[in-house]
Amino acid sequence: MVLLSDGLVNQGRSPAYSDYNFPIYSVAVGDTVPKRDLRLTGLTYNRVAFSGNRFPLEAEPGL
């Protein structure tokens, strides 16, 4: 099997801890430059929220 991966395990069990009965050839792909996904410059919310209640949340994205 050829495994193309960025090395991040998002869901399920990590392949490093699994036992396979066949050879796995890995190829690392992906961007190696760390960058932010999203920047928030403002966040407005209620400081108290009770379980089961809905409450507003305002997020202001930055550039």
pLDDT at 42 over 80: yes
42: nearest Cα among 55, 58, 26: 58
Query: Average pLDDT of the chain?
Result: 83
Q: Is residue 40 a contact partner of residue 61, using CB atoms and an 8 Å limit?
A: yes
Non-local CB neighbours of 4 within 8 Å, separated by 6+ positions: 26, 27, 29
**Confidence band, pLDDT 50/70/90 cuts, at residue 41:** confident
What's the half-sphere exposure (Cβ side, CA atoms, 13 Å) at 54? 0
State pLDDT tens for residues 21-35. Answer: 888 888 888 877 777
Q: Domain range for residue 19?
A: 2-30+38-61
| Token representation of residue 19 | 């036992």
How many domains is the chain built from? Answer: 1
pLDDT of residue 39: 81
pLDDT of residue 13: 77
